[in-house]
């Protein structure tokens, strides 16, 4: 029978090796006990659903008892805590609030020159919320909770209308009676997590506009957004400048309300699935991934046209859209280049969700200089965009279904 006592080996070398082995064994035992203790502290489910996230749902990984830093939501950066694993690219950035500025009778052009602005409303209703009363936080007076990260009334695939009722018939229907002047809506049952301005460049497409509004308002309400729809109409007979209209629309929208993000939307694209959320993105999001006119396939990886979403801070970081693209094509590819230049990632929902039907129409005159402008675009990123935007607001109409902005670009 062996003795339980330790046998000390002879010689200093053997003694040293023996002591090192003992220390290593003790360290191994200590690590094993620490892991065992941590395992007992883990939740029963390795992943937990965190509905307390500021904007979107998250999965919290394993060691939830560890105190974590709050995720960064500025610009395009993602959560910096390694314990947080993102489910979908949804959270929005809290953009700095602009000065409280409601639209007045005497407007000002973006270049500082005086511009006469007529503001009319379709009826006498409560005024639009201003930037001093944002809807992003709940008021103790009403006691409302924040809306759930994933809206509960989504239906999935949608039937896209081939026509729309008249303006009067539309306004009489239930979803549209919930709107306030300017095409504004905020959910009554909870405080929305997203303040979104839908910016639509427009000219002479009245039937398409009715179809767009008839289809989109019910969807956006089911998504529980605090939103407004801005129809930015180009005045005059110059070639259409989609990008400048988007710039002007975004700048005018934030004068009316503290919007966190923008969805830039062609009027002829109608969503086919309301799970395609128009929420504020953490990274710039290309929304119209699969369009029927392109066999529901992404035409090319750099595509950023049709429908796209950006936070205010992202839009300002890249200096908005280029103002140089008169005529059809090029401005969305230029925006893609601006985003990647600033190390922002283009996010997309799966193609079976981000589906759209394009209403048939004739494209405008193609911009013959678009490829040359794209080649030289990088040189103009800081000088061509919001920093060089010049326009005049000729008219503002707060219609029941939308805010109409009549914009004069004054082509040089």
Instruction: Give residues with Cβ within 8 angstroms of 308, minimum separation 6.
Output: 263, 264, 284, 285, 286, 287, 288, 332, 335
| pLDDT at position 280 over 60 | yes
Q: What is the mean pLDDT of residues 147-164?
A: 94
Strands (DSSP E) along 125-234, which ranges?
A: 184-185, 195-202, 226-234
pLDDT at 302 > cutoff 50: yes
pLDDT at position 10:
54
Highest mean pLDDT among 57-61, 62-66, 72-76, 307-311: 307-311
Longest CA–CA span in the chain (Å) reads: 107
CB atoms inside a 10 Å sphere around CB 344:
19
pLDDT for the residue numbered 308: 98
Q: Are 291 and 358 a contacting pair, CB within 8 Å?
A: yes
Which has the higher per-residue pLDDT, 11 or 81? 11
Q: Stretch 71-97: mean pLDDT, rounded?
A: 35
Q: Sorting pLDDT into bands at 50, 70 and 90, what band is 328?
A: confident
Question: Could you tell me which residues come within 8 angstroms of residue 319 by beta carbon, excluding any fewer than 6 positions away?
Answer: 338, 381, 382, 384, 385, 386, 387
Residue 238's alpha-carbon distances to 327, 367, 407, 412, in angstroms, are 9, 12, 12, 10
Q: Are 321 and 308 in contact (CB under 8 A)?
A: no
User: Is-above-0.75 flag for pTM?
Assistant: no
Tell which wins on pLDDT, 180 or 410.
180
Q: What is the pLDDT of residues 96-130, one digit of tens each?
A: 333 333 333 334 444 433 343 444 444 333 344 44
Cβ 276 vs Cβ 353: under 8 Å: yes
Here the tokens at position 21 are 């082995």
Length of the chain: 412
Name the more confident of 3 and 175: 175
Residue 276 binned pLDDT confidence (cut-offs 50, 70, 90): very high
User: If we measure between CA atoms, which residue out of 77, 73, 74 comes closest to residue 344?
Assistant: 77
Residue spans of beta strands (DSSP E) within 3-55 = 47-50
Give the pLDDT mean for 38-42: 41
Which 3 state secondary structure label does DSSP give 151?
coil
214-273 pLDDT per residue, tens: 999 999 999 999 999 999 999 988 899 999 999 999 999 999 999 999 999 999 999 999
Look at residue 374 in the predicted model and tell me its pLDDT.
Answer: 82
Per the model's pLDDT, the better-predicted residue between 77 and 35 turns out to be 35
Please give the pLDDT value at position 106. 34
Residue among 175, 191, 262 at smallest CA distance from 183 = 175
Strands (E), 209-333: 226-234, 261-265, 269-271, 285-286, 290-291, 307-311
Backbone angles phi, psi at 388, to 5 degrees: -120, 10
For the chain, which domains are there?
106-408 (3.90.550.10)
Find all residues with CB under 8 Å of 57, minimum gap 6, and list them.
49, 50, 51, 87, 88, 90, 149, 150
pLDDT at 181: 96
Mean pLDDT, the chain, as a whole number? 77
Q: What angle do CA 291, 295, 296 make, to 5 degrees?
A: 45
CB 80 within 8 A of CB 360: no
Among 85-89, 277-281, 303-307, 381-385, name the one with the lowest average pLDDT: 85-89
């Amino acid at each position: 029978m062996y003795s339980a006592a330790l046998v000390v080996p002879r010689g200093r070398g053997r003694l040293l090796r023996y002591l090192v082995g003992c220390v290593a064994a003790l360290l191994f035992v200590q690590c094993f006990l620490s892991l065992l203790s941590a395992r007992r502290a883990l939740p029963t489910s390795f992943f937990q659903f965190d509905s307390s996230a500021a904007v979107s749902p998250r999965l919290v990984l394993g060691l939830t008892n560890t105190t974590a830093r709050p995720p960064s939501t500025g610009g395009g950066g993602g959560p910096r805590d390694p314990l947080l694993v993102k489910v979908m690219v949804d959270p929005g950035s809290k953009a700095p609030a602009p000065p409280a500025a409601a639209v007045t009778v005497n407007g000002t052009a973006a270049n500082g020159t005086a511009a006469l602005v007529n503001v009319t409303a379709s009826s006498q209703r409560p005024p639009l919320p201003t930037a001093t009363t944002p809807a992003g936080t709940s008021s103790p007076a009403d006691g409302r909770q924040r809306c759930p990260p994933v809206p509960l009334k989504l239906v999935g695939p949608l039937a896209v209308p081939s026509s729309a009722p008249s303006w009067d018939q539309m306004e009489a229907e239930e979803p549209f009676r919930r709107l306030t002047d300017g095409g504004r809506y905020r959910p009554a049952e909870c405080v929305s997590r997203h303040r979104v301005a839908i910016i639509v460049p427009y000219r002479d497409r009245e039937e398409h506009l009715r179809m767009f509004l008839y289809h989109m308002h019910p969807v956006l309400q089911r998504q529980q957004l605090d939103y407004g729809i801005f129809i930015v109409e180009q005045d005059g007979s110059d070639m259409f400048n989609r990008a400048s209209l988007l710039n002007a629309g975004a700048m005018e929208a934030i004068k009316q309300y503290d919007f966190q993000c923008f969805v830039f939307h062609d009027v002829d694209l109608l969503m086919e699935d309301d799970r395609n959320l128009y929420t504020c993105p953490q990274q710039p999001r290309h929304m119209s991934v699969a369009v029927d006119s392109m066999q529901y396939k992404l035409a090319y990886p750099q595509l950023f046209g049709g429908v796209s979403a950006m936070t205010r801070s992202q839009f300002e970081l890249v200096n908005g859209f280029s103002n140089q693209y008169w005529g059809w094509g090029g401005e969305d590819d230029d925006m893609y280049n601006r985003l990647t230049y600033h190390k922002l990632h283009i996010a997309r929902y799966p193609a079976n969700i981000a589906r759209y039907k394009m209403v048939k129409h004739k494209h405008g005159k193609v911009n013959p200089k678009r490829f040359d402008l794209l080649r030289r675009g990088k040189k103009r990123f800081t000088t061509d965009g919001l920093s060089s935007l010049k326009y005049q607001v000729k008219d503002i109409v707060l219609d029941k279904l939308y805010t109409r902005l009549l914009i004069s670009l004054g082509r040089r």
